[in-house]
Amino acid sequence: MSASPQHENTHEHLRLLAGNLDSGALSKIKAQVNGLHPAEIANLLESLPLQNRRIVWELINPEFAGDILVEVNDEVRLGLIEHTDEEDLVTAAGSMETDDLADIFEDLPEAVLHQVVRSMSNQDRRRLQSVMSYDENSAGGLMNPDMVTIRPDVDLDVVLRYLRQHGELPANTDKLFVVDRDDRYLGILNITDLLTNSKKESVRDTMITDQKALPPSLSANEVALFFEDYNLVSAPVVDEKNQLLGRITVDDVVDVIRDEADRSLLSLAGLDEDNDMFAPVPRSARRRSVWLGINLLTALLAAWVIGLFAETIEQIVALAVLMPIVASMGGIAGSQTLMLVIRGIALNQIGHTNARWLLWKELAVGSLNGLLWASVVAAITGFWFQSTALGFLIAASLIINLVFAALAGATIPLTLKRLNIDPAIAGGVILTTVTDVIGFFSFLGLATLFLT
């Protein structure tokens, strides 16, 4: 698979940067990084060891710093802020959009916050307070109060003249929001309709009234699904009184999708997507030791189960050879169901109405696969060890473990979700424990009953 142009550019920028850092060519580094997009600079900074990162950061124009701080992950951001002068931080924060400033507001030193808030207009201060009153992972936390609103009782020609006077439009403006005198949301006017329809038509006759608005309490994941379902570039956010609070744009939704993908992938190993890849060794080791400790406990539990049948294993050495097959097959089967259910939960496709049906379906799949692969493993085992009894025994334990794996894979994420625990983080560990314990116990237990 060939690398994307973006990845190729990142690799090239890193190569040039490394060469300039080695040679001490600070002027070249300054010209290189300040000529890049803030997202590219953020990616480069996250890719650099701490010492080099600080050198590059000091060469970046403070006017770009705010946009870069929004793009980097939380831990990298805190490190950069710690090594930035208060005056430069004030400059960086002052150049940021309201919603972006809200994202990093709590990371800034108090002295900087005081200066930034004091320099804001009353309107911007109210906007900032509005965004910060909501959870950052909600529609209210994602919204940007910077938008263009119009009244329904004016002609399109008046709207066009207003936009020309307004000057630059907010980024990703594909629609204008129609409100009444009390700022209650009425509908939208698409920019395409504004440009193509007769200028004499009124906004009321041209606007679309069935464009759904989002409540500020809606979760970020549900916002992303809403944008995906309706193929949106932007969407309005309204309160319980239907008053327009702000808008969410697709660039923020893309960030949500990216963050969720990173979180789901890294959480399987007990890692956080906001961790710095080049954090100091003691800090990284301390974080990972917690996850290793949890896995050690589950491994000790599986080992304890094996220890219960030590005498049986001593009598029949073939059991030690075959044990990993039973546990591994159960683990894979359970993981397939687990990931399917976690995805269904994330997409809001699983609820009370269909959870029971899904459980029975996965049990049926587990049983069918259990019968299929049990017969294959039984034939191989019987031929390998010249023992029909051993073949039937491992077949029975495989069926048992695959059925339990399907049951665990379906019920664990649903149960964790009810307990408000992220199934992507804890589900894998619990599932592995279940399949290992059930697999070893069923295989060695049957061997103890029938072969000794």
- Asked whether the beta carbons of 435 and 400 are under 8 A apart, the reply is no
Q: Model's pTM, two decimal places?
A: 0.71
Cα 166-168-171 angle, rounded to 5 deg: 125
| Span between the terminal Cα atoms of the chain, in Å | 53
Name the nearest CA neighbour of 113 among 134, 133, 96, 130: 96
Q: How far is CA 227 from CA 48, 136, 171, 212, 230, in A?
A: 34, 18, 17, 11, 5
The answer to whether the CB of 358 falls within 8 A of the CB of 410 is yes
C-alpha distances out from residue 144 to 191, 222, 288, Å: 19, 17, 36
CA 171 to chain CA centroid, Å, is 24
Q: How far apart are CA 100 and CA 127, in angstroms?
A: 12
Number of helical H runs and strand E runs in the chain: 22, 5
Residue 287 confidence (pLDDT): 66
Residue-range domain boundaries for the chain: 5-133, 149-249, 281-450
Q: Which pLDDT does position 360 carry in this prediction?
A: 93
Say how far apart CA 269 and CA 226 lie, in whole Å. Answer: 29
* Tokens coding 168: 């630059």
SS3 of the chain: helix, strand, coil, percent, to 5: 70, 5, 25
Q: What is the pLDDT of residue 364?
A: 93
- DSSP characters over 270-315: T--TTS-TT--HHHHHHHHHHHHHHHHHHHHHHHHHHHTTHHHHHH
Please state the CATH superfamily assignment of the domain spanning residues 5-133 in this structure.
MgtE N-terminal domain-like (1.25.60.10)
CATH code at 281-450: 1.10.357.20
State the Cα–Cα distance between residues 305 and 296, nearest whole angstrom.
Answer: 14
Phi (first) and psi of residue 242, to 5 degrees: 70, 20
Cα angle: 342, vertex 361, 363; to 5 degrees: 90
The pair of three-digit structure tokens given for residue 147, joined into one six-digit string: 């938008």
Question: What are the pLDDT tens digits along the chain (452 aa)?
Answer: 444 445 557 778 888 888 888 898 999 999 999 999 898 999 899 888 889 999 999 999 888 899 999 989 888 999 999 989 999 999 888 888 888 888 899 899 999 999 988 888 888 888 888 888 999 889 999 999 989 999 999 999 999 999 998 878 888 999 999 999 999 999 999 999 999 999 999 999 999 999 999 999 999 989 999 999 899 999 999 999 999 999 999 999 998 888 777 766 666 555 665 666 667 777 767 766 776 777 788 888 988 999 999 888 888 889 999 999 999 999 999 999 998 898 888 777 887 888 889 999 999 999 999 999 999 999 999 999 999 999 999 999 999 999 999 999 999 999 988 888 878 777 888 899 999 999 999 999 999 998 87
Contacts of 210 (CB under 8 A, 6+ apart): 187
How does DSSP classify residue 201? S
User: Spelled out in words, what is the top-level CATH class assigned to the domain 149-249?
Assistant: alpha beta
| Predicted pLDDT at 5 | 47
pLDDT at 343: 82
Number of residues in the chain: 452
Residue 320, φ and ψ in degrees, nearest 5: -65, -35
Contact present, 107 and 70 (Cβ < 8 Å): no
Output the furthest CA–CA distance in the chain (Å, rounded). 94
Q: What residue ranges in 145-251 does DSSP mark as E strands?
A: 149-150, 175-179, 185-190, 234-238, 244-249
Which residue(s) pair with 175 in the sheet?
A: 190
C-alpha closest to that of 93 among 74, 73, 120: 120
